[in-house]
A and B are shown apart, each in its own frame.
Chain A
Amino acid sequence: MAAVEQMGTTAGPVRLWSEPVAFAAMVLLLVVLPAFVYPVFLMKALCFALFACAFNLLIGYVGLLSFGHALFLGWASYLSAHLAKVGQISVPYWLGGWQWFVIPLPPLPPELAILGGAATAALLGLIVGAIAIRRQGIYFAMITLALAQMMFFFAVQAPFTHGEDGIQAVPRGRLFGVVDLSNQTNMYITVAVIFLGSFLMIYRIINSPFGEVLKAIRENEPRAISLGYRTDRYKLMAFVLSATFAGVAGATKAIVFQLASLTDVDWPMSGEVILMTLVGGLGTVFGPVVGAFFVMTMENYLTAIGQWVFVVQGSIFVVCVLLFRRGIVGELAHRLRVRL
């Protein structure tokens, strides 16, 4: 996606202080905001911010538009909810008749449930990625959308997801057996730490030699190939990483809201994460976070108007694509001539 306006990374003199300062401001906000804003809303927004950051890793730095990222959010949240509530995993297999392969597990503590959810997302990312990276551009988007829809139907039919009801009343449990997560403050701190840790890891990935190769692929894939890089492997790795972080977001969200439902695997969710990243700024470090908070705040105020939410979302898509392709943070970075 060479035409993505990468103003945050290429325009003008690069001032390296901007990113640490913005990060410090973000941490400060996370400390101060719970005093003013409902913590459950903040936790929801943080989960989506992480989801959007994971998505941005793919579109912003490899130029691959995944239209199926809800798949990873949703399935990680199902697995995390299932592991925390039930534990036991039964996998059907065919041996002249359907048999069940049972892994007897007790209900797991939240940290293992979240890890399990993230591992599920990583595995799904490996499978979906291996299929999807065989085509580029438009086709990549359509393939990810189709595969996500397929996994949506699996989620509808699989017994452990409980269809329309979802997995309800998931216990939050005790983190490492010590910290009681039913306490709202503890839960908030946990979510904030998961978010900040993942954010820093994504930042590290983007600025590593690996990340530089990804950007090279985004700018000119044939040239990257001619330089000897096996671009398919890089793209697959980036896809798996993106899926994993999306999984962390989904798994955490399931523990916070004690619920995993079909909403998180359905295609409107894939559209929403695109919207967040687009509004915040494709290919900017802080854009997805700002975009997620923007979209979440908007939806919070718009719940009263029902179906019009889709109309508003659609209008933002149209406006952003036509007039505001840099997004909020991208525009800010461009005006201030800094990296953000």
Chain B
Amino acid sequence: MFEVFGVSSQVLFGQLLIGLINGSFYALLSLGLAVIFGMLNIINFTHGAQYMLGAFVAIFLLQYAGLGYWWALLIAPLVVGATGIIIERLFLRWLYQLDHLYGLLLTFGLALITEGVFRNYFGSSGLPYSVPPSLQGGQNLGFMFLPNYRAWVIVFSLTICLATWFVIERTKLGSYLRAATENPTLVRAFGINVPRMITLTYGFGVALAALAGVMAAPIYNVSPQMGANLIIVVFAVVVIGGMGSILGAIVTGFGLGLVEGLTKVFFPEASNTVIFVVMAVVLLIRPAGLFGRST
């Protein structure tokens, strides 16, 4: 045990760990938003609701099918991603020719519907979801206690983020995606089915949100409004990082989680608002965002 600025290492690293955990979710969610925005030019306001759906699918799987965490980690993103594909085919595809703001309004409406339905059946109180047996317990690192599940969340979300970055920036499929982002008409002329790519991209972005939801289920309570407040913070993260860069979204997500954790230690009153303050400062200094290209 040692002290930093009068704060015990236990407290400091404990909050930094929580910061990293929150950062994992910021990174996963803002990554999904960035991927979707890149292809569809739509800011997916439903993202928070889809994160919540992921957590609820995990609960349903446990209750009705007896399938535990690991199955949920696989099935929930597929199920929620499929609903995303349906949403894209039914609603979003009519909006691509219109102003971007209509996409925001439509997905906001979908978020209201989803969260309203769940609040109606599950109230506002949360449901518990237990940590899988294989990840219970923790390690004593000397300066702090590290629960296994939290370590897993950080490592796994970092892996997913980097894998997504690798697919988009370093593979052939990713190069199609990036090309279609730049000039969809030209890419179609090369015989690539761009509309299908758009649909699958939305499904993938939504699946990422659901994956984050399953990972969050054992840490936070599973409740209908778990995504509503989170998504606003993630919007701020996206504004800070700029949506131009995948790696930027990941770095900003984790970084801001840490900033939030540090604030909790040294100035707890501001921990709710620090990310918004950072956003305001970044906008004043670098309006395009830390990793953004000015538009």
- Mostly, the A contact residues are helix
Interface: B104 (CB within 8 A): yes
* Contact status A307-B116, CB under 8 Å: yes
Chain B contacts with A in 63-109, Cβ cutoff 8 A: 91, 94-95, 98-102, 104-106, 108-109
Q: Which listed residue (A1, A149, A153, A157) contacts B101, Cβ 8 A?
A: A1
Question: How far is it, in angstroms, between the C-alpha of A137 and the C-alpha of B41 when the chains are bound?
Answer: 11
Measured between beta carbons, the chain A residues less than 8 angstroms from B114 are 314
* Contact status A306-B273, CB under 8 Å: no
* Contact status B232-A145, CB under 8 Å: yes
Question: How far is it, in angstroms, between the C-alpha of A298 and the C-alpha of B114 when the chains are bound?
Answer: 20
Q: How many whole Å from B30's CB to the nearest CB in chain A?
A: 11
A318/B276 contact (C-beta < 8 A), A142-B235, A311-B113 known = no
A134/B99 contact (C-beta < 8 A), A142-B236, A147-B276 known = no
Q: Which listed residue (B109, B269, B277) contacts A318, Cβ 8 A?
A: B109
Interface: A210 (CB within 8 A): no
* Contact status A317-B106, CB under 8 Å: yes
Nearest B residue (CB) for A139: B239
Question: How far is it, in angstroms, between the C-alpha of A317 and the C-alpha of B120 when the chains are bound?
Answer: 19
Measured between beta carbons, the chain B residues less than 8 angstroms from A325 are 98, 102
* Contact status B99-A2, CB under 8 Å: yes
Question: How far is it, in angstroms, between the C-alpha of A132 and the C-alpha of B269 when the chains are bound?
Answer: 24
Question: How far is it, in angstroms, between the C-alpha of A149 and the C-alpha of B272 when the chains are bound?
Answer: 9
Measured between beta carbons, the chain B residues less than 8 angstroms from A278 are 105
Nearest B residue (CB) for A325: B102
* Contact status B101-A143, CB under 8 Å: no
Q: Which listed residue (A135, A267, A311) contacts B120, Cβ 8 A?
A: A311
* Contact status B112-A65, CB under 8 Å: no
Nearest B residue (CB) for A312: B116
Question: How far is it, in angstroms, between the C-alpha of A330 and the C-alpha of B152 when the chains are bound?
Answer: 54
Q: Annotate A291-327 by CB proximity to B: 1 below 8 A, 0 otherwise.
A: 0000000000000001111110111111011100100
Q: How many whole Å from B101's CB to the nearest CB in chain A?
A: 5
Interface: A178 (CB within 8 A): no
Say which size band chain B's interface belongs to: 35 or more
* Contact status A146-B119, CB under 8 Å: no
Interface: A100 (CB within 8 A): no
* Contact status B276-A141, CB under 8 Å: no
Measured between beta carbons, the chain B residues less than 8 angstroms from A318 are 91, 106, 109-110, 113
* Contact status B116-A310, CB under 8 Å: yes
* Contact status B91-A322, CB under 8 Å: yes
A311/B232 contact (C-beta < 8 A), A65-B104, A143-B279, A153-B273 known = no
Measured between beta carbons, the chain A residues less than 8 angstroms from B273 are 150, 153-154
Chain A contacts with B in 251-303, Cβ cutoff 8 A: 267, 271, 274, 278
Measured between beta carbons, the chain B residues less than 8 angstroms from A135 are 239, 283, 287
Interface: A3 (CB within 8 A): yes
Q: Which listed residue (B95, B100, B229, B276) contacts A137, Cβ 8 A?
A: B100
Interface: B222 (CB within 8 A): no
Say which size band chain A's interface belongs to: 35 or more
Question: How far is it, in angstroms, between the C-alpha of A91 and the C-alpha of B37 when the chains are bound?
Answer: 42
Interface: B115 (CB within 8 A): yes
* Contact status A146-B239, CB under 8 Å: yes
Chain A contacts with B in 1-35, Cβ cutoff 8 A: 1-4
Measured between beta carbons, the chain A residues less than 8 angstroms from B236 are 142, 146, 149
Measured between beta carbons, the chain A residues less than 8 angstroms from B232 are 145-146, 149, 267
* Contact status B238-A308, CB under 8 Å: no
Nearest B residue (CB) for A154: B273
* Contact status A310-B115, CB under 8 Å: yes
* Contact status B235-A146, CB under 8 Å: yes
Measured between beta carbons, the chain A residues less than 8 angstroms from B91 are 318, 322
Question: How far is it, in angstroms, between the C-alpha of A212 and the C-alpha of B206 when the chains are bound?
Answer: 42
* Contact status A309-B284, CB under 8 Å: no
Q: How many whole Å from A273's CB to the nearest CB in chain B?
A: 12
Chain B contacts with A in 240-291, Cβ cutoff 8 A: 269, 272-273, 275-277, 279-280, 283-284, 287
Measured between beta carbons, the chain B residues less than 8 angstroms from A169 are none
Chain B contacts with A in 188-233, Cβ cutoff 8 A: 228-229, 232-233
Q: How many whole Å from B229's CB to the nearest CB in chain A?
A: 8
Interface: B295 (CB within 8 A): yes
Question: How far is it, in angstroms, between the C-alpha of A321 and the C-alpha of B92 when the chains are bound?
Answer: 10
* Contact status B112-A322, CB under 8 Å: no
A141/B98 contact (C-beta < 8 A), A146-B232, A149-B276 known = no
Listed in ascending order, the chain B residues whose CB lies under 8 Å from chain A are 37, 43, 91, 94-95, 98-102, 104-106, 108-117, 119-120, 228-229, 232-233, 235-236, 238-239, 269, 272-273, 275-277, 279-280, 283-284, 287, 295
User: What are 20 A-B interface contacts by the 8 Å CB criterion?
Assistant: A1-B99, A3-B102, A132-B283, A137-B101, A141-B43, A141-B101, A146-B236, A146-B239, A153-B273, A267-B232, A308-B116, A310-B112, A311-B113, A313-B116, A314-B108, A314-B113, A315-B109, A317-B112, A318-B91, A325-B98
Additional A-B contacts beyond A142-B238, A318-B91 (7; CB < 8 A): A131-B283, A136-B295, A143-B279, A271-B108, A318-B110, A322-B91, A325-B98
4 closest A-B pairs by CB: A317-B109, A314-B112, A310-B116, A314-B113
